[in-house]
């Protein structure tokens, strides 16, 4: 089985810390992820909203390339960004279930000499870590257990629904299980799959920010050290508007928001720079006992 890695645009730009920490963690687990060569935009957001067909075709090209790359062997395409993950899953599903869409995609791929047979398995890193690597191996790789660290796992709206099947769409537990295996405490809270405001933070600001604020407010109420995310846009929305939020809602909003892979990497003793910790605007808050335990490996 081959595991190809599809970064998408975010993990090469605003979400670089996600890529850095993800690859570092997988490398530590000796689970190689090979970047899909020649990949292109996944077709998310604006495309999907304006011209669905173009979005499908863009996503399908990546799938076709991945399938080709497998040379007849089963291929898993790991998409860490929630939006990429969703669009790839949606394309896969619609190609099969809606014949006219399937035909349109096939025609478009044909014009560039590509063909997609639907053989690629689209996976989220959470899914791969739990189901392929397994908690046993992860526990074994933990050298600096996150004792005393309290985390709110925030999956966002797209990772577990509507198409994903690896976790419960209303009450997912995979990230909780993972971070608990790393020694952290995770809280049971009602915001795991609530909307972060997504694109609205840039368009209808008040509506978007309110979504993010509601989540952060609840995380603060639960007294956590950090919110762990699995999506570059969620991370951005939750971390970058805390100042404006504080003013707008007359509250003192302050909360670390890190990629779950950064936190896992920390438990594995990986160094701060490798995990892209320096890219966080708000440093990851850790209980005093854990401070200073991280050193270069």
Partner 1 sequence: MSQSPACPRIGVYVCHCGMNIAKQVAVEAVTEFAARLPGVAVARHYKFMCSDPGQELIQQDIKESGLERVVVASCSPLLHEATFRKACAAGGLNPFCFQMANIREQVAWVTADKGRATSKAKALIAAAVERVSRAQPLERKRLAVGDKVVIVGGGIAGIHAALTIADAGKKVYLVEREPTIGGHMAKFDKTFPTLDCAACILTPKMSSVKNHPNIELMSYSEVEKVEGFAGNFKITIQKKPRYVHEELCVGCGECVDACVFPKAKFPSEFDEGLALRKPVYMPFPQATPAVVVIDPNTCLQLTKGKCKQKCVEACQRGAIDLKQEPEQVEVEAAAVIVATGFKTFDPRGLPQYGYGRYGNVYTSLEVERMVNASGPTGGEVVLKDGAKPRSVAIIHCVGSRDKKTHPWCSRVCCMYSLKLAHLVKERSGADVFSFYIDMRTPGKGYEEFYDRLLEEGVHFIRGRVSHITDWAMTKAEEGKLVVSAEDSLIGVTRRIPVDMVILSVGLEPQPDAQEVRKKFNISCSQEGWFLERHPKLAPVATFTDGVWIAGACQGPKDIPDTVAQAGAAASEALALIDKGYVEIEPNTAEVDPEACSGCKTCLGMCPYHAIRRDEEKGVAVVNEALCKGCGTCVAACPSGAISQHMFTDDEIYQELEGILSYV
Q: In the complex, what is the shortest distance from the CB of residue 248 to partner 1, in angstroms, rounded to a whole number?
A: 15
CA 125 to chain centre: 7
Q: Which is nearer to partner 1, 93 or 137 (CB)?
A: 93
Q: In the complex, what is the shortest distance from the CB of residue 170 to partner 1, in angstroms, rounded to a whole number?
A: 4
Q: In the complex, what is the shortest distance from the CB of residue 244 to partner 1, in angstroms, rounded to a whole number?
A: 19
> Which residues does 286 contact at the CB level (< 8 Å), separation at least 6?
146, 149, 225
Q: In the complex, what is the shortest distance from the CB of residue 218 to partner 1, in angstroms, rounded to a whole number?
A: 6
Instruction: Give residues in contact with partner 1 (CB under 8 A).
Output: 168, 170-171, 188-191, 214, 217-218, 221
Q: In the complex, what is the shortest distance from the CB of residue 188 to partner 1, in angstroms, rounded to a whole number?
A: 7
Q: In the complex, what is the shortest distance from the CB of residue 187 to partner 1, in angstroms, rounded to a whole number?
A: 12
CA 228 to chain centre: 10
Q: In the complex, what is the shortest distance from the CB of residue 285 to partner 1, in angstroms, rounded to a whole number?
A: 22
- Give 257's strand partners: 227
* Among the listed residues 199, 190, 200, the one whose alpha carbon sits nearest the alpha carbon of residue 222: 190
Q: In the complex, what is the shortest distance from the CB of residue 172 to partner 1, in angstroms, rounded to a whole number?
A: 10
> Which residues does 117 contact at the CB level (< 8 Å), separation at least 6?
67
- The Cα–Cα gap between 147 and 267 comes to 9
Q: What is the DSSP letter of 271?
A: -
Q: Which is nearer to partner 1, 205 or 251 (CB)?
A: 251
Q: Which is nearer to partner 1, 188 or 254 (CB)?
A: 188
Q: Which is nearer to partner 1, 142 or 214 (CB)?
A: 214
Q: Which is nearer to partner 1, 34 or 168 (CB)?
A: 168
Q: Which is nearer to partner 1, 139 or 194 (CB)?
A: 194
Q: Which is nearer to partner 1, 35 or 171 (CB)?
A: 171
Residue 51 to residues 43, 44, 55, 105, Cα–Cα distance (Å): 10, 11, 7, 13
Residue 186, SS3?
strand
Residue 261 to residues 3, 173, 175, Cα–Cα distance (Å): 17, 16, 10
Residue where the block lists tokens 């959470």: 126
| DSSP for 278-294, written as a single string | GG-SSPPP--GGGTT--
Q: Which is nearer to partner 1, 160 or 268 (CB)?
A: 160
- The Cα–Cα gap between 193 and 156 comes to 5
Look at strands 2-5 and 121-123 and give their pairing.
unpaired
Question: Helix 205-221 crosses helix 232-240 at what angle (to 10 degrees)?
Answer: 80
8 Å CB contact between 50 and 43: no
């Amino acid at each position: 089985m081959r595991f190809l890695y599809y970064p998408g645009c975010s993990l090469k730009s605003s979400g670089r810390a996600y890529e850095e920490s993800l690859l570092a963690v997988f490398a530590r687990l000796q689970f190689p992820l090979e970047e899909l060569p020649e990949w292109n935009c996944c077709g998310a957001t604006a495309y999907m909203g304006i011209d669905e067909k173009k979005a499908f075709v863009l996503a399908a090209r990546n799938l076709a390339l991945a399938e080709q790359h497998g040379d007849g062997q089963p291929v898993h395409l790991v998409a860490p960004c929630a939006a990429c993950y969703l669009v790839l899953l949606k394309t896969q599903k619609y190609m099969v279930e809606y014949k006219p869409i399937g035909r349109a995609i096939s025609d478009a791929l044909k014009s560039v000499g590509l063909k997609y047979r639907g053989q690629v398995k689209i996976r989220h890193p959470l899914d791969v870590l739990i189901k392929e690597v397994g908690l046993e191996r992860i526990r074994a790789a933990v050298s600096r257990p996150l004792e005393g660290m309290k985390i709110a796992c925030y999956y966002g709206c797209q990772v577990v629904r509507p198409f994903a099947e690896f976790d419960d769409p209303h009450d997912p537990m995979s990230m909780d299980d993972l971070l608990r295996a790393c020694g952290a405490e995770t809280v049971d809270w009602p915001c795991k799959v609530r909307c972060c405001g997504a694109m609205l933070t840039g368009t209808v600001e008040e509506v978007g920010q309110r979504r993010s604020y509601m989540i952060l407010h609840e995380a603060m109420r639960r007294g956590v050290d950090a919110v762990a995310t699995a999506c570059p846009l969620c991370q951005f929305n939750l971390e970058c508007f805390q100042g404006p939020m504080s003013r707008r809602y007359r509250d003192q909003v302050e909360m670390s928001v890190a990629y779950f892979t950064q936190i896992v990497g920390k438990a594995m003793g990986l160094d701060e720079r490798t995990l892209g910790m320096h890219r966080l605007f708000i440093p990851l808050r850790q209980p005093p006992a854990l401070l200073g335990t991280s050193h270069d490996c």
